[in-house]
Structure 1
């Protein structure tokens, strides 16, 4: 497929600087993703630090000091990671249960061996996989792992971290799809219980799945691929009790040939392995808060606004209580919720971490630390917002004897369909025209079609009318104030009628260009649906239904050098 890359400025200033002016923000991060030496330094640090520490006591004082490794030294007490074999057992069970292929299982076997590293990225489990950016994150993870394995000469496994512990149902319960007329439709599953709990704990019944799939079937255009697409999705739904399970099965199906390993952050078997890290996060909770505050101060001193809220008393952990996921705060030596509805001592919380860690959950500040505890993370793939809020975690990583991994910006794509590319050529539009100034270009095109110069003619007539009417206004105004006001109202009514006639004339004239205007509308609906980047709206199965999966495999097999920070246009 033909492709090109363009610069598309992000709305997140810190991420924009990270990608395009790294020296300005280098002190907020650990490694330079563009520096080959930093990739080797990270790999060497992971290898040297593996097994150096012990599992750690609740007070967070366990660990030993390390020696200089590559560019960095392990100055802090180092926490040993979760046992590779145990993690691999959990991943194997989870991936087998969700339809993983042989390549993913082979990668899990490689993870059992010391020296195997991972590239990790994650996302919430959206309906039918959610917007395309989720797919592009997986593509970036796979591409990065493959490239790193080649350059480092050692195994690097791609891992997708499903954020099943998140409780924001409204973020994941919907998706968007186009019909044959390019009209956009929102598909949605209602909350099954109303409880504010992890998405992975919310049961979706067969009727809800059937209704969502029926609506998808109604709106997807009829193509040769449609029966296969719908058959796959129905099979996933029949085997899935939750959105997370459906998401895992769909991702396993899409990336079966590429060895993508899946992980659900709310998997109770995984939680059992996270117990020591939860104990560290609880025992050193005040120090964690201090580390986040120090990072916040440094970010603000650099002229940026922190991308996530840092509250001194926030414990940065959740607890599941009465079926809901509740954010914890520190209150003296205890932990409580915002309303003070319950209170737990540090000893009680530590006991929960040891006895039943599935009652605990991470927030956005502690999830990166837990990820690094569970897996040997060479690099993490992040979107712009994530790049910004990860800058808050550098000191926290160090406080727990870790190092923030390399951060790889997620690749961005827009799929340009062949018929739309023809429209683009017909109207003489560059890629930048389509992406950044399409409405302006459309209005300019319409103006060029206006050979009758209706706007100018009507404006001229209105000017002549005002000139002819001015003496009447002056004459009537000399009679009395009431009559003067009436004359002004009369003039405005006549002008309003002229405006009405102009609009009707313009509409009738533009009706001659209905076919072309529909082409402009299709360009907008494809490239900038709902005035957003395509990747943030549409569903991957929208394009698979139209074009099959060949384009996705082309993206995955792309071997070009990573173009960090550029937006990639792929012509189907």
Structure 2
């Protein structure tokens, strides 16, 4: 059980974890994403300046703009679509009837004033990297905020699991305590349909990392035992988020695909998505942005258990599927009789999602949201409302050990978003026995170099190139002297340099944001699964544009 206090108006979080009889003080501060090197220009625009991208979206993200989106979706989402969704979701969530909020949200789907807020992800092992928690919780918190603002409407958070992907190598591993563990399997095809045969060795390797925490090891052991990978993933995620009313949807469902079959038929016949996405991508590239997702002539896969292959049109109107050639007539008949064999790829999946859900907003990472900008024309062609899009919250977690090192070195928490070389250089300058202020020397050197160039050019204008060359040599010599002095001082501060290395290694594994590399389970083990999810709930603010720094004191 956890008691916590948080408001966006206060920068501090006080958390008491009663079950572990430990007390945790958390400080929450935010930092401008644009002052880091970890988010692209396009991702930043989607995050904090969507008005500049108006031609590629429906309406910019704001709580006020949901009123317009509600009316738009209400007109396009039929009672038949709602009834079908309720039937599928109630069946998929039937195993989680012990969660009162889940039951309530499933029943709400029958109401014509109920809308969804959706996030999605691959089937990563044991929840995946940290940002998956942030993504799911952002959807939950946004649904709650909308419920407050629009009390006459209902808002249900949905987590879409990408069960039809076939890139098993992307999801079969996790990073844990500087090691990487993988589940090796010879299975092929849609990963959600994989059986769990042979996963025990992988599970045992993971559990062995928590020998000093037998309670958490026992927690992990209860998962990935039965069913297929889709159901196992759902079970793990529902254990973490069921108390918050999340609905997890596996859209690899025959009846849902049957409802989407007319659009898939249109794709096979006219290749409309490639045409529309191509137009929008060209516009983006004219404005200096690069397309994130490549549209193909047919943006569908053909799937069966142990098989997933692109559907490739041929010049004579037939289709290649794996090593087979199928006529258009045969393929369209197969679509009519077996819609479950057709799988939207990265281009059509967003359209499929928005077609089968009464969805208002889709949220994800900056890169993920960037490729949604390519799709507006495709949505317009099918008269499916384009959702409001939102960049999820990002959180950088400073554990107590890291916090102590930062404070001991007299650094600011935001300093770590400078390059490690700059931080070390500034530390040496600030802590040198003799003052290492190069600003005056640089000022005098610049004056000298400029006077030298002018003197040479005055004597002979044809020597201008020579003057520039000699100036460059002098500047390099001065830079070399400066770097040598700094290196000399660094040796005197070797312990501090090692501590800075440790800070960056902890915060930026693999030279990237911690949330994109570190798996969530060390955090679940340290604080307790329910407790850590509750702490994330307190940190997330759907309207926050900055990078959230969670600092354990």
Range into which the TM-score falls when normalised by the shorter chain:
0.7 to 0.9
Distance 1:104 1:334, change over 3 A: farther
Whether the 8 Å CA contact 1:177–1:220 is kept in 2: the answer is no
Corresponding position: 1:391 with 2:373: yes
Paired residue for 1:176? Answer: 175
Corresponding position: 1:303 with 2:303: no
Paired residue for 1:279? Answer: 265
Per-residue deviation, 1:518: 5.5
Per-residue deviation, 1:320: 1.8
Corresponding position: 1:422 with 2:404: yes
Whether the 8 Å CA contact 2:319–2:328 is kept in 1: the answer is no
- CA displacement 1:454-491 (0-9 Å, x = unmatched): xxxxxxxxxxxxxxxxxxxxxxxxxxxxxxxxxxxxxx
Whether the 8 Å CA contact 1:319–1:326 is kept in 2: the answer is yes
Structure 1 residues without counterparts, runs of 5 or longer: 52-80, 179-183, 454-501
- CA displacement 1:419-454 (0-9 Å, x = unmatched): 32121111111122123333432355467777699x
| Secondary structure, aligned partner of 1:25 | helix
- Of 391-400 and 431-440, more deviation after overlay is shown by 431-440
Paired residue for 1:250? Answer: 236
Distance 1:33 1:246, change over 3 A: same
- CA displacement 1:187-240 (0-9 Å, x = unmatched): 1111333x3x111122221xx432222222333473xxx333322221112234
Match of 1:185 among 171, 175, 179: 179
Corresponding position: 1:42 with 2:56: no
Distance 1:559 1:448, change over 3 A: closer
Distance 1:443 1:547, change over 3 A: farther
Alignment of 1:277-426 (within 5 A): 277-283=263-269, 285-311=270-296, 314-320=297-303, 323-332=306-315, 334-337=317-320, 341-426=323-408
| Secondary structure, aligned partner of 2:186 | coil
Paired residue for 1:553? Answer: 534
Paired residue for 1:141? Answer: 139
Match of 1:201 among 173, 193, 197: 193
- CA displacement 1:54-88 (0-9 Å, x = unmatched): xxxxxxxxxxxxxxxxxxxxxxxxxxx86222211
Paired residue for 1:494? Answer: none
Aligned length: 472
- CA displacement 1:266-292 (0-9 Å, x = unmatched): 245544554444334434x33332212
Paired residue for 2:522? Answer: 542
CA RMSD between the two structures: 2.9
Report the TM-score, using the length of structure 1 for normalisation. Answer: 0.76
Whether the 8 Å CA contact 2:403–2:551 is kept in 1: the answer is yes
Corresponding position: 1:210 with 2:186: no
Whether the 8 Å CA contact 1:30–1:406 is kept in 2: the answer is yes
Per-residue deviation, 1:259: 0.3
Per-residue deviation, 1:522: 3.6
Paired residue for 1:22? Answer: 50
Structure 2 residues without counterparts, runs of 5 or longer: 1-12, 14-26, 436-483
Per-residue deviation, 1:506: 8.4
Whether the 8 Å CA contact 1:276–1:354 is kept in 2: the answer is no
Match of 2:91 among 93, 100, 113: 93
Higher CA-based Rg:
1
